Structure 1
Amino acid sequence: MLSEQSTPVVRATLPVVGAAIGEIAGVFYTRLFEDRPELLRDLFNRGNQANGEQQKALAGSIAAFAGLLVEHPESRPDAMLARIAHKHASLGITSDQYKLVHQHLFAAIVEVLGDAVTPAVAAAWDEVYWLMANALIALETRLYQESGGAEGGTWRPMEIVERREETSDTVSFLLRRTDGTPTGAFRPGQYVSVQVQLPDGARQIRQYSLSGAPRDPYWRITVKRVRAGADPAGEVSSRLHEHARPGDTLTVSAPFGDLVLPAGDGPLLLASAGIGVTPMLSMLHHLAAQDPTRPVLVVHADRTPADHPHREEQRRLVEALPNARLHLWYEELATSAPGASAGRADVGALELPDGVTAYLCGPLPFMRAVRGDLLYRGLPAHSVHYEVFGPDLWLGTE
């Protein structure tokens, strides 16, 4: 909870700081990488830095956190904090790095806002930062303990056992631990980080959902190739597509992620588009093994049936669940997809059971549209959960 003396200062300065937070974030990252260039090389996603998405996510999270402290002082934004903490733990972030971020972030605030940063303003926003940072440190400490590793000790070598071309631009990899110990179960819907060494020596990290059954002896990830030319956004997926083969070793994190199925027997809606099908597959595998009678509506949208990753696997899993129904939409329909609809997904046309809990994964426009349709139909916001591949740009707007 924000202190009594800081609350009016943050409330009064939030519009000014909020309006400048994007510029502040840009200056912050410039300062940070000048001081510690290895962080851009080996920790931060160079693609998200190049397109500005990481700056937007940082700006959104700080502004959203400060706004909630002021407007809802009795509560803490646990959903937002949990999402960030899981991502940080998957990257091996440590508590001492928050001091480094604080140093460069507040230098950036002073550089951008100048004399407007009085001692009182600096103290109030310092309090905001450490309330958020200490909450994240506590959450991340617990996540590391639950994963069985020390702080930052999320990484393990894993061998590629099998490689399979799923579509023209997606490939799946089966992974096992190189020391012969069990891979371990994960919660359906979680992801892992994969660290890949690139030709320039950088060790870039990307997150991939675990797309197989949570209790299989192997983990499976499915990688969609991002074709971006000279843009670094696709450098890791391209490297995996072009070079990763059975017998190779990848550096992989423990499983993390808060988009996981709830306990109980309430009805579910699993809505995905494109590569967003991957966390839904692990959920369907879990349901088939552990809870086959649970009511499930499965929605997937894609460009064409040929672009739909794990299409037959998804269909077989749904058919194995007596109370599950599959609804498919393709922008370009083909005769190879009987029963599918043409165009974009329209959950507004579906009959939704009472008390349904929705899980969404896919491109942001798809999730915005589906979420909007669900809210319009009366589904409570707390019943709609989502997974974003990359920086969460909803943090500042939802």
Structure 2
Amino acid sequence: MNTYQKELIKATIPILRESGEVLTNYFYARMFKAHPELRNMFNMGNQANGRQKSALANAVLAYAENIENPSVLISVLKGIGTKHRSLNIQPEQYKIVGTHLIASIGEVVGEAATQEILDAWTAAFYQLAEIMINLEKEMYQENKAKSGSWNGWRKFVIKKIIQESTEIKSFYLYPEDGKEITEYHAGQFISIQVFVPELDLLQPRQYSLSSAFNPEYYRISVKKETGIAPNPSGMVSNTLHSKSEGDVVSISSPAGIFHLEKDSKNPLVLISGGVGLTPMLSMLETNLNSIQNKKTIWIHGCRNESVHAFKNQIMEIKKDAGHLETFTFYDTVENDDETSNQIIQGRVDLHKCKDAILLEEAKFYICGPEMFIKAQYETLINLNVSEKNIFYEEFGPQLINLN
């Protein structure tokens, strides 16, 4: 891109701020009409609830704002790239996206989108595409080099299903071919692909691995979302909850940049809301199995005891692990004896356990709904925790960027 083109991109920033989501909404409709097969690759739940459109609008705006130095976005791009790798996104698909995005700019913006502006955005998009393609190429190569790993989709058999709470089931996934599976870092996820009859589509979803690595299987623990019609956001979780032992699903190899740092000796503070406890459980078990046994604070919040998954497992770990301290928050305490079992009534409030969590050089990991993450992050900052020691995982398209 030349200097003049960069200035043209910057000149469109006010339009992107005002009409970014109108543009991305139009873009997706245009692209899916021309390439309906891509509906099998995109999360149609996030299309219906608007999260994907918002995420793309935010990404386009951020790129325009940093067009002089897009390298400052590299950490965000790596997060997008690792998800693309898990979905088996290929370079040729960037051309499809570029064609429809540039056309959408012209059709939505109208006469203000001069040919010079469209040419500038074409150059900008393919600059970004080249960055992403190169990043993802390295990820595919690194993944392929791992023992037991694979790129693309691989069939796994659901050999065991465990009801963990009234809403959450664990699925134990064994490779159908009986061959080796690859190791992963605690906190990472897999993509799973199932056919959803209501949509007549294959649909991918990402689910955190919910246990320490076991060389025989992967485990995911999935919350059944309710109230899905007409929004398809929960159709994959409902489809999974209807599965039986012996059914086969397709999954990608583990991916993700939210995970424990290997060989780190820092104390851990694991903060989760609802089903956000799944990657934390993997971290907790992995730490328990390591020789480090780092001081660990487990903080979890959910609505009540009936939806509290893995409650007994955490209690058993705590009995045997002197390095573990737990704080559990219930919106509603249903039994009087729950408060004697270290249950705190109300939403997660880190001020109520600040004396326990403010450990020197502790690493803080947060996972849960968007507002939950923001609230815990802001509290930690107010408690003078350095942002470099705070890590978070947002389920779905990235809408928040706190550090």
TM-score normalised per structure 2: 0.91
Separation in structure 2 between the aligned mates of residue 111 and residue 68 of structure 1, nearest angstrom: 24
In structure 2, the partner of 1:77 is: 73
Q: Report SS of the residue matched to 2:67.
A: helix
Q: Does 1:344 align with 2:343?
A: no
Deviations 1:97-131 (A, max 9, x none): 00000000011111111122223322332333223
Tell which deviates more after alignment, 14-23 or 2-11. Answer: 2-11
Shift of 1:245: 1.4
Output the CA distance in 2 between the equivalents of 1:128 and 1:385.
Answer: 30
Matches of 1:291 and 1:76, distance apart in 2:
37
- The aligned runs of 1:307-326 (5 Å cut-off) are 307-326=307-326
Asked whether the 8 Å contact 2:161–2:169 carries over to 1, the reply is: yes
1:173 aligns to what?
171
CA RMSD of aligned residues (A): 2.1
CA deviations on 1:223-245 (whole Å, 9 max, x unpaired) are 10011242211111111112x11
Which of the numbers 370, 374, 397 marks the counterpart of 1:368? 374
**What are the ranges of 5 or more consecutive residues in structure 1 without an aligned counterpart?**
none
The 5 Å alignment of 1:31-50 reads: 31-40=30-39, 42-50=40-48
Aligned-partner Cα distance in 1 for 2:24–2:70: 28
Q: Identity percentage over the alignment?
A: 33
Task: Answer yes or no: is the 8 Å Cα contact 1:194–1:208 preserved in 2.
Answer: yes
Please list, as runs of the form range in 1=range in 2, the aligned pairs for 1:235-274 lying within 5 A after superposition: 235-242=235-242, 244-263=243-262, 264-274=264-274
2:331 equivalent in structure 1: 331
In the aligned structure 2, how far is the partner of 1:292 from the partner of 1:306? 33
CA 1:321 to 1:79, structure 2 compared with 1: closer, same or farther past 3 Å?
farther
Contact 2:192 2:249 in 1 (8 A): yes
Q: CA deviation at 1:75?
A: 4.1
Shift of 1:19: 1.8
The answer to whether the Cα contact below 8 Å between 2:16 and 2:57 also exists between their aligned partners in 1 is no
State how far apart, in whole Å, the 1-side matches of 2:318 and 2:215 are. Answer: 19
Q: What code does the residue aligned with 1:340 have?
A: I
In the alignment, is residue 147 of structure 1 matched against residue 153 of structure 2?
no
- 1:24 pairs with 2:23: yes
**Cα pair 2:225 2:238 within 8 Å, conserved:** yes
Task: Quote how far apart the aligned CAs of 1:56 are.
Answer: 0.4
- Deviation digits for residues 26-79 of structure 1 (CA, Å, limit 9, x no counterpart): 110010010011212x11111111111110011111212222334xx3842222
Aligned to 1:106: 102
Per-residue deviation at 1:293? 2.7
Please give the secondary structure, in 1, of the residue aligned with 2:72.
coil
The CA distance in 1 between the partners of 2:70 and 2:113, in whole Å, is 27
* Aligned match for 2:160, one of 159, 162, 165: 162
Deviation string 1:227-276 (CA, Å, 9 cap, x unpaired) is 1242211111111112x111111111111111011132112221101100
Is residue 392 from structure 1 mapped to residue 398 from structure 2 by the alignment?
Answer: yes
Matched to 1:324, the amino acid is L
1:134 Cα offset (Å): 1.8
C-alpha contact 1:184 1:217 (8 A) present in aligned 2: no
User: What TM-score comes out, normalization by structure 1 length?
Assistant: 0.92
Q: Cα deviations across residues 291-321 of structure 1 (Å, max 9, x unaligned)?
A: 4431222211011122111122233334444
Shift of 1:185: 1.3
Letter in 2 for 1:371: Y
- What is the number of equivalent residue pairs in this alignment? 391
The corresponding residue for 1:294 is 294
Deviations 1:197-247 (A, max 9, x none): 1225311111111101123421101110011242211111111112x1111
| CA-to-aligned-CA distance 1:362-392 (integer Å, 9 cap, x gap) | 1111111001111122223232211121111
Contact 2:265–2:292 (Cα < 8 Å) also in 1? no
Q: 1:126-145 deviations in whole A, cap 9, x for unaligned?
A: 33322322222122222222
Higher mean C-alpha displacement, 218-227 vs 108-117: 108-117
Letter in 1 for 2:172: L
Distance 2:165 2:171 in 1: 13
Partners of 1:380 and 1:119 in 2: CA distance: 46
SS in 1 for 2:66: helix
Q: Kindly report which structure 2 residues correspond to 1:48-87, keeping only aligned pairs within 5 A, or say none.
A: 48-70=46-68, 73=69, 75-87=71-83
